[in-house]
Chains A and B, each alone.
Chain A
C-alpha cells in the first residue's frame, strides 16, 4: 500500500519535473557538456598511453553513459530551496520531502541521458568500441545501484545547507572524490598502491567505475554478486547517514521570513 502510493506520487512528481525541465533544454545541454568533459579527458589520456588496448575505449564510453545516467545536482535543486525558504512548501506536503528531490533528480537524469546519447554513440562508433550484450545486461543492476549511490552521496552532502551557506564547495569536494577514486580520472586498476586498494573499498568506485567495468566486460574480474553486494553495502550506509542527517538538519531549518 505504502509502496504503491510512493510509486504513484513519485511518478506524478517525475512527470511534473520532466515537463518543468523541458523548457530548459539549452541549459541541460550545458550540463551534458559539463558531464562528458571529464570522462573524455580520461579517454584521450589513457588511449594515448595504451593505444593498442580496445578495453580502454569501451570502458570510457561506458563511463560517459554511466556519468550521464547518474549525475546529481541536489546542491542546486535541493540546497537552494533551503536557502530561499521554498523548501517550506515541501515540508507542508503529506509526503516525504525526498520524493520531490528524487523526482527532480530522475527528471534531470532522463533529460541528460536523452540529450547525451549522441555523444555516447559518436564516441562508441569512432573508437569501434564493441560491447557484448551479456556484460551490458549484467551491468544494468549495477548502474541502477550506482545511480542510487550518487544520489544518496550528493543528497547527503547537499544537506550541509542546513548548517552552512557553502554547500557548493562541500558538494564540489565530494564530486572530486568521485572523479579521482571512482574510476573517471583513471581506471582504478591503473592506480598505484595504496590508492588502488583505497578506491576499490570506497563507495566511489561503485558510483562510476564498477558498472562501467562490468559493461565493458573488462577489467572487472570479480563475481557479479560480490559487486552488487559491495554497492548494496554502501547504499545501506548512505541511507542510514541520510536519515540521521535529515533528522538533524530539518530541526535546524530556520528560514525566517521566507
Chain B
C-alpha cells in the first residue's frame, strides 16, 4: 500500500476583491467581484510508507493547501488522492485516527482552559487509545518532548515553544501512521527547533511513520528529508534527492581554507574568493575543478585546515524560488 498518492491534483477557488475607498466598499454591498485563484495545478507525486519528504516552496506556492487536501480538510477541484488507500475528504473516522496534521501556526486547537493532561486525556477518548497504550505513549512523549513540567499547565498559559511540543504530543499520542507537519519549527528558538527535529527523527525511526514536512527553515529539511518536492505557483517543479537539487542549482562548491603566511595572491589565482579574513579564505570553484584546486592549494600553501562544502541550502533554495528550475 502506498502511503500518499496524488495524481493531477488541482485546486482553484474565488476570492472577493474590491478597490479601496468608501465608494468601492458601498458598491461591493450590491455587486461583489471575485478573482479566481489557482492554488494547485495538476500536482502529482507518491510517497512510500516510512518515507520522510520535504515539501518546500515560497509563500503562496500551494504547500498548505496540498496538506489540507491530504488531511481531508479541503475538497480539491479535481484530481485523484489516496492517503493510506483512503479518499481524505470523505473524512472517515478510521482514516482520521491514522493521520495527524500539525501546524506551527496553530499547534493546539480546542479549549484553552484545559490543562495539557486533560487535553491528552480527551485525545485518548477521541482516538480510542487503550489505556495501556496511552500510558506507554505518554511516557515516551514525556521523555522525548520534556512534557513533565507542562502536564498540569493550562493550554492558554503556554509559550509558543511549549505549545508546539504539546501540539506534537497531542498529535502523536495515538501513534498516527502518516504525519503532515506544516512549519513545525516556526517561531521557535534554536534549542526548541533542534529538539523538535530530533523528536521527529526519533519518532520516524521508532514507528516507521510516513512524513510530509513543509518548512522555510532549511535546517529542518536538510536534517530530516532525504527527498524534496519543490512546489511553486501550484506546480511541482522538482521531486528528487536533496543533493541532486543542490548540484543542479549550484554548479559550484565552496573550499574553506586556513593557511599560514600570506597566501592571498595564490588563493585569488585559483578561484573566486567569496570570504577572506586573517589567513582564512572561502573559494567558490566549479564542482569538476574541486580536486585539482584542492591539490594546488595544498601544494602552494602551508595549509592548517581545509574543508570542501556544499553551498548553503538556503542560497540554493532561494535561487530556485527566484529563478525557477527550468
Contacts and interface: CB of A to CB of B under 8 A. Distances in A.
Interface stretch (B90-98, B241-249, B254-262, B278-286): B90-98
A8 B97 CA distance: 18
A253 B126 contact: no
Given A93-B96, A94-B96, A256 B73 contact: no
B71 interface: yes
A9 B125 contact: yes
For B37, B125, B127, which residue has the most chain A Cβ atoms within 10 angstroms? B125
Contacts of B37: 256
Contact of B110 (A16, A252, A255, A257): A16
Nearest to A166: B29
Given A16-B114, A19-B113, A20-B113, A91 B72 contact: yes
A89 B171 CA distance: 11
Interface of A: 8-9, 12, 16-17, 19-20, 22-23, 86, 88-95, 165, 250-258
A89 B96 CA distance: 12
A89 B109 CA distance: 6
Contacts of A88: 68, 73, 106, 109
B260 to A, nearest CB: 55
B73 A16 contact: no
Interface in B106-125: 106, 109-114, 118, 122, 125
A61 to B, nearest CB: 34
Across chains A and B, which 9 residue pairs bring their CB atoms closest together, nearest first? A89-B109, A94-B96, A94-B93, A16-B111, A254-B13, A20-B111, A20-B113, A251-B75, A88-B73
A93 B93 CA distance: 8
Given A16-B114, A256-B65, A94 B126 contact: yes
Contacts of A91: 72-73, 91
A50 to B, nearest CB: 43
For B13, B60, B106, which residue has the most chain A Cβ atoms within 10 angstroms? B106
Contacts of A12: 122, 125
B24 interface: no
Given A89-B106, A253-B73, A254-B74, A94 B114 contact: no
A12 B93 CA distance: 18
A112 to B, nearest CB: 18
Contacts of B96: 92-94
Contacts of B71: 92
